[in-house]
Structures are given as C-alpha cells and as structure tokens.
Amino acid sequence: MSPTVPVPAALAHLRPTNRLGLRHSALAIGSTGLALWLSSSGGWGRWAIGQLLLAASLVQWFAILHECGHRTLFRARRLNTVVGVLAGVMTIIPYASWVRVHGRHHKWTGWQDLDPTTESLVPRPLSTWERWLINVCWRLWIPLFSVLYRYGNYWNLSRLEGLSFRAEDLTLMRRHIVAQLAFYCALLIVAGPLTAVSVAGAAVLLSLMAEDLVILSQHTHVPLNVSEGKAVPPVPSLEQEEFTRSLRFPRWVSAFLLNFDAHELHHMYPFVPGYLLRRIPYQPAHEVGWWEWIRASKRLSGVVLLFNNRETTGFRL
C-alpha cells in the first residue's frame, strides 16, 4: 500500500466488465432463489437457513443497486439499467430515484445540508418523543434509519420534487415508484400477505438491521460542513476521504458485497467498480473493523450518534 493518493488516471485500467457483472448478478439471483426455496419448502430448520441466506442476499442486492446506479457493475449501460431495476425491487428502492439521489449525494458529500441523504441529520433541537424514538430504536436494533432512509430519499415524491431535479427525471422517478408499488401490490394479492411474510418477512427485517449498521457507519458521527444557505463549491472526489468512514469485513464477506465496506475508496474513485476497489494501492485513513464499529457505536445513544460528530463528543472511531 502506498501512502500517496493515486491519481485517477493511474487507475484507468480498473473498469467494469460484463463478465464480472454477470458473475455477481448470477450469484445474487442464485442465492435468492435458493433462499426462497428453503424458506418455503417446509421445516423450521430449512426456513431458518433460508431466512439467513435471503437476508444476506438482500444486502448483496443493495450493493448491486449501488453499483448499477454508478454504471459500474457492467460495461454495458443497458445491463446496468436492467439489473438495477431488479435490484431496486429486491431492496425496496425505486431505481430511478436511487440514481438521481445517490448522484446528488456524491456531488455534495462533505456538505451536510446540501447532501439529500444527510440533510435530515443537521444538528437541531429535538422534541422529547423524537429523542425517545431514536434512542429506543437504536438500542433495540429496530431498523428505523433504513426505513426512513428509503421513504425520505427515494419514495417521498413531494421531497423529490423539492430537490430541483429536471422535469424528465421527476417523470421517470414517478413512473418507477408507481410501477414498483403496483408490483408489490400484485405480489401480495397473488401470494397472499401471510405467505409473503412467512417466506420473506424475517429476512427483510434482518437485512434492514444489517443495512442500518453499514449505512450509518459511512457518514455518521463524522465532521461535515454546513453551508447555511451560502453558495459553496462541491468537494472534489479525491478530497472526500475525510468525510466518510470505511468498515473492514472479512475478505469473503467483502467480496460477496462487492467491497461495499470500502467506502472511502469508493468516494475517492467512484468510477472504479466495487469488485475492483481493493486493487487500489492505497489504505484509507478511517477504516475500522466491523465488530469494533458495532460495539463502540452501540455504546452511544442514537441521538448522539446521529446528530453529533467526533469533534464534539471525542468518540473517534
């Protein structure tokens, strides 16, 4: 590993390929199919294994959605779109909304009030019930953040309309939201609510719990700028390392999740496919072991974790 930050031109060889994109997509489809079969084939043992496998697959689909949104899972743009729409269905995030909002996130990383995914966490006075809800959910592992993250950023049309996207982008987002909602309704009608819950309910809950920890590790409790309404320039990608944090999973877990834990490298080099990120010869400054992060972050209250940063609390993990 080099202490020098590589220039983007030195990583021009790290580009997506259709072969690797198809391999990761096939793995996700295969593991999901196996998990659904186990979950519905009878017997508590098979059901439990199926739910654990399905939960892991759903987190993998989230990583795939992330890659497709950057057009870095495949070299072919159409393949990114097709698999991205499927990944959006699996993760309960409309693909068109994801692409636009996540792109805005990368543009404004470092500016908490301009990044649509961190805007709601700008320090502010909280009511008693807000503090209670946040703290209880965080303490009991209730995935409040993952649910609000989805609704507020990708399903809430009134908020999306207020983010000044182009008219054609908003039209596409509306279509994806309506189509995806219609698909879920049709699925519930055909399969029945009880069957749907028994086959996938526990897995969805477990996946949201896992995503709570991963997503919150990336930009929470990190010092971020606040523009306060002033005209400010975006932070260049290579300078976004200080505004994010990476986890360190076991190698096989990281590979399964397309190196989604290498978040600093991703922000510095968003054009590099996730499955090639670990080939970048640079060790980011804020990488922490996943178990160390969980133990330490769970010692904080939810409010302190979400609405403060290491400069104000001294919690420097």
**Model pLDDT for residues 152-186, shown as the tens digit of each residue:** 999 999 999 999 999 999 999 999 999 999 999 99
Residue 96 lies in a domain: yes
pLDDT at 124 over 80: yes
Residue 3 lies in a domain: no
Residue 141 lies in a domain: yes
DSSP letter at 315 equals -
pLDDT tens track for 35-89: 999 999 889 999 999 999 999 999 999 999 999 999 999 999 999 999 999 999 9
Average pLDDT over residues 106-122: 96
Predicted local confidence at residue 3, as pLDDT: 72
Residue 93 lies in a domain: yes
**How open is the CA angle 87-57-285, to the nearest 5 degrees?**
90
What sign does the CA torsion over 152, 157, 163, 167 have? Answer: positive
pLDDT at 139 over 70: yes
pLDDT at 317 over 80: no
Average pLDDT over residues 8-34: 97
pLDDT tens track for 254-301: 999 999 999 999 999 999 999 999 999 999 999 999 999 999 999 999
CA pair distance 79, 102, nearest whole angstrom? 19
CA pair distance 113, 12, nearest whole angstrom? 33
Residue 13 lies in a domain: yes
What sign does the CA torsion over 6, 18, 267, 292 have? Answer: negative
pLDDT at 7 over 80: yes
Nearest Cα residue to 91 out of 66, 67, 49, 58: 58
CB atoms within 10 A of CB 15: 12
Total domain count, the chain:
1
Residue 253 lies in a domain: yes
Q: Output b/e per residue, 36-68; b: 16+ Cβ within 10 A.
A: bebbeeeeeeebeebbbbbbbbbbbbbbbbbbb
Q: What angle separates helix 202-219 from helix 44-69, to the nearest 10 degrees?
A: 40
Residue 1 lies in a domain: no
Residue whose structure tokens are 């636009």: 100
Predicted local confidence at residue 1, as pLDDT: 64
Predicted local confidence at residue 311, as pLDDT: 86
Helices (H), the chain: 18-40, 44-69, 77-91, 95-108, 128-139, 144-150, 157-161, 167-191, 193-196, 202-219, 251-256, 263-268, 290-297, 302-307, 310-313
Average pLDDT over residues 196-209: 97
Predicted local confidence at residue 31, as pLDDT: 97
User: CB of 25 within 8 A of CB of 83?
Assistant: yes
Residue 308 lies in a domain: yes
CA pair distance 68, 81, nearest whole angstrom? 7
Determine phi and psi for 315, rounding to 5 degrees. -80, 100
pLDDT at 315 over 90: no
CA pair distance 196, 90, nearest whole angstrom? 13
pLDDT at 316 over 80: no
191: domain range?
8-313
CB atoms within 10 A of CB 13: 8
